């Protein structure tokens, strides 16, 4: 699969109409990869596997955030967004994140009555990515 999916859809987020942005991204991905399942498996592998990220590694956090966005889109497009809220999805991602981010996520879950959500994890990754970007500039 030569080209990285993230590179293919770079710039699509700049559309004001998010539906148009999403369709443009899928068109680019389908033109390159053709099969949605194959692409989903590639994104899942990139997201779940890999080294533990150290703070403040902006590039690594940005990559994880990008893949988390893509993975959410796969589930959202098929109407199964709720399937992301389980430990089989959340824990492999969480295990790659810096320890401080894992603690923040645990605290957030405790405040939510122990409920783990993909959106909460994505939100924390986005916040950490912004902080890392600022500290690296």
pLDDT digits (tens, 9 = 90+) for 70-79: 888 888 877 7
Segment 94-114 mean pLDDT: 93
Tokens of 62: 């940005």
Tokens of 11: 């710039």
Decide if 72 contacts 118 (C-beta within 8 A): yes
Of the listed ranges 8-22, 59-73, 87-101, 117-131, the least confidently predicted one is: 8-22
Which range of 31-40, 42-51, 71-80, 125-134 scores highest in mean pLDDT? It is 125-134
pLDDT over threshold 80, residue 124: yes
Would you give the end-to-end CA distance of the chain in angstroms?
32
Split at pLDDT 50, 70, 90, the class of 1 is very low
Split at pLDDT 50, 70, 90, the class of 108 is very high
Read off the pLDDT of residues 83-103 as tens digits, 9 standing for 90 and up: 899 999 999 999 999 999 999
pLDDT over threshold 90, residue 4: no
Decide if 85 contacts 131 (C-beta within 8 A): no
Tokens of 110: 């405790």
């Amino acid at each position: 699969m030569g080209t990285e999916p993230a590179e293919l859809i770079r710039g699509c987020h700049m559309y004001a109409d998010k539906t148009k942005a999403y369709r443009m991204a899928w068109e680019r991905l389908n033109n390159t990869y053709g099969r949605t399942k194959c692409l989903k498996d590639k994104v899942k592998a990139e997201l779940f596997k890999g080294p533990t990220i150290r703070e403040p590694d902006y590039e690594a956090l940005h990559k994880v955030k990008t893949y988390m966005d893509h993975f959410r889109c796969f589930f959202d497009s098929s109407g199964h967004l709720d399937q992301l809220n389980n430990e089989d999805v959340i824990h492999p991602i969480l295990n790659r994140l810096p320890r401080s981010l894992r603690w923040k996520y645990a605290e957030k879950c405790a405040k939510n009555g122990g409920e783990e959500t993909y959106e909460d994890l994505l939100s924390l990754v986005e916040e950490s990515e912004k902080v890392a970007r600022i500290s690296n500039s």
